[in-house]
Amino acid sequence: MILWRISAYADLSGIGGLRASGRWHHLGRPVVYAADSPAGAMLEVLVHLEIDPEDFPTTLQLIRVELPDLVSRAELPPLPEHWKSDPEVTRAMGDRFLDGRSALLLPVPSAIIPCTTNYLFNPAHPEASGASIQAEKFPLDSRLI
């Protein structure tokens, strides 16, 4: 299984989750967000940026996360109709997944791209050590912002 993320840091420590809340977790929990494609990973980054193209960070890398095909995956409970507009709903679900440590991955729907799956990667799960990463510089095409 291959997952993708765009980050300035080529690691899977989940330290960013300790510093800020995300759609699927509250601040203080290590978590790594990844996408099922490089394009999905890019859009998940771009949706949070409000910068001019010349100010785009030059430190970002495209990170390929390789996992064994049979890693454990949790199943997301049914989402309420208003899940995109109420981050507390999704954060509570993500927190339960991270705290339970029952699986390495939780597949979650993208809030910005229909029919696209993102993944919460739990760095505290024992299977996390089986992941390998490759990173390369990520140049942004200025037409995107």
Q: pLDDT digit string (tens) for 45-87?
A: 888 777 776 777 788 899 999 999 999 999 999 999 999 999 9
pLDDT of 88 higher than 90: yes
Q: pLDDT digit string (tens) for 114-134?
A: 889 999 999 999 999 999 999
Sequence-ordered strand ranges (E) for 1-145: 2-7, 32-35, 61-66, 105-109, 117-121, 132-137
Whether 67 and 55 have beta carbons less than 8 Å apart is answered as: no
Nearest alpha carbon to residue 4 among 56, 59, 61: 61
96 pLDDT tier (thresholds 50, 70, 90): very high
Between CA 119 and CA 55, with CA 137 as vertex, the angle to 5 degrees is 95
Ordered by start, the domain boundaries in the chain are 2-139
145 pLDDT tier (thresholds 50, 70, 90): low
